[in-house]
């Protein structure tokens, strides 16, 4: 951990959160006293803000107004999206990544026979609507992983445009324009799409991930992970602790290796850089980094990966590995509790990641 400790100061991820504007007309965006820093490779589009701001961003209109400012700037800078993406077409099912804001991904999951679509985390309603029209599908459901505006900001406009569209999410998370609350293991059915909600608290109290069952179309299952899990990374623990996040990550670890991972952000290059600091001898990480760097040089997206791949190089899924435990971990807990030591290791990894500054 010594190398990571030499990295420069903490780069807190952008906090785009909300208090639901239910029933109110959207105000004109205000000019906030916050500096916008253009996105560089592997960097977040906002100046870092401390955790002390988190309540302000999640519980007041400032978070919403800041999201509107981000949206406007990102549309100007990336009129065709921040990355070039490719859809995955299976037997009658299509998964379409939509690059939005400066590094977010929204998704359309389409039953191509019924021409029905589900949107996941539609933060830019204009970009999502353009994809809906291009695909010639009917939007019938929105799945929100969590409340932050960079994942839920399009709920209002899309649900108003598509009157029969249902908005799903956790009732614990204050999802804007929520119509259909979900609990752990609830299933959303749209045509031949069977999508299971899994409770994964930690980033937020009510964070959900969504698992598209591959069996009906004889293909791989797909995990839409929001801000729980990224390629070689995981989300910050804003509304939980290390034990909570470890339990949520273990929920994902219980899924099959061939499950495709569709994350909420394009963080691959930065995350793999950090993984190289804590596991410099990991050859799987090195191979993946070479591929990711080639992709990013051409501004191509890096999703999906697979959970099998993630197990091989994502340090946040490798807290059971002896090499990481010996390098960074505190050793077994006072009662020999392995889960306790894994949670402490996860907490240390998160601390080092927050200090890490990619070159």
What lies within 8 Å, CB to CB, of 13 at 6+ separation is 44, 48, 236
Q: Find the length of the chain.
A: 359
162 counts as catalytic = no
Task: For residue 186, indicate whether it is catalytic.
Answer: no
Is 356 part of the annotated catalytic residue set?
A: no
Catalytic: 203? yes
- Catalytic residue (one of 18, 203, 207, 356): 203
Q: Residues 146, 162, 207, 356: which is the catalytic one?
A: 146
Q: Among the options 82, 151, 162, 207, which is catalytic?
A: 151
- Give the CB-side neighbour count of residue 89, counting CA atoms within 13 A: 5
Q: Which segments within the chain are labelled E, that is strand?
A: 88-89, 93-100, 104-111, 116-120, 138-143, 166-169, 180-181, 187-190, 193-199, 208-212, 222-224, 229-230, 233-234, 260-262, 305-306
150 is catalytic: yes
User: Nearest-CA neighbor of 211 among 171, 254, 274?
Assistant: 254
DSSP helix/strand/coil, 306: strand
Positive or negative: CA dihedral 331, 336, 342, 348: negative
The catalytic residue among 111, 124, 173, 227 is 227
- The single residue of 18, 82, 148, 162 carrying the catalytic annotation is 148
In whole angstroms, what is the distance from residue 176 CA to residue 118 CA?
17
Respond yes or no: is residue 82 known to be catalytic: no
The catalytically annotated residue of 111, 150, 173, 207 is 150
Provide the annotated active-site residues: 146, 148, 150-151, 203, 227, 265
């Amino acid at each position: 951990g010594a190398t990571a400790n030499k990295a420069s100061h903490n780069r807190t991820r952008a906090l785009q959160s909300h208090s639901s504007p239910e029933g109110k007309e959207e105000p004109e965006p205000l000019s906030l006293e916050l500096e916008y820093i253009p996105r560089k490779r592997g960097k977040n589009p906002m100046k870092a803000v401390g955790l002390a701001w988190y309540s302000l961003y999640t519980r007041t209109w400032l978070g919403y107004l800041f999201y509107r400012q981000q949206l406007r700037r990102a549309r100007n800078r990336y009129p065709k999206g921040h990355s070039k993406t490719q859809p995955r077409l299976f037997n009658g099912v299509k998964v379409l990544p939509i690059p939005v804001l400066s590094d977010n991904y929204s998704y359309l999951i389409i039953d191509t026979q019924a021409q029905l679509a589900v949107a996941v985390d539609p933060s830019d309603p204009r970009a999502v609507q353009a994809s809906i029209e291009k695909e010639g599908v009917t939007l019938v459901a929105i799945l929100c992983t969590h409340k932050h505006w960079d994942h839920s900001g399009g709920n209002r406009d899309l649900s108003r445009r598509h009157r029969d569209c249902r908005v799903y999410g956790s009732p614990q998370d204050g999802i804007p324009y929520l119509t259909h609350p979900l609990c752990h293991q609830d299933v959303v059915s749209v045509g031949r799409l069977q999508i299971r909600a899994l409770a994964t608290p930690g980033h937020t109290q009510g964070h959900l991930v969504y698992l598209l069952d591959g069996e009906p179309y004889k293909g791989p299952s797909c995990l839409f992970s929001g801000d729980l899990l990224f390629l070689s990374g995981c989300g910050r623990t804003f509304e939980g602790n290390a034990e909570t996040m470890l339990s949520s990550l273990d929920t994902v670890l219980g899924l099959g290796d061939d499950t495709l991972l569709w994350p909420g952000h394009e963080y691959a290059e930065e995350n793999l850089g950090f993984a190289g600091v804590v596991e410099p001898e990991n050859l799987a990480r090195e191979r993946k980094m070479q591929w990711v760097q080639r992709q990013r040089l051409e501004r191509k997206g890096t999703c999906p990966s697979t959970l099998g791949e993630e197990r091989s190089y994502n340090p946040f899924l490798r807290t059971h590995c002896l090499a990481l435990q010996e390098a960074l971990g505190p050793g077994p807990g006072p009662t020999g509790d392995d889960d306790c030591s894994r949670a402490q290791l996860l907490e240390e990894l998160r601390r080092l990641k927050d200090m890490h500054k990619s070159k």
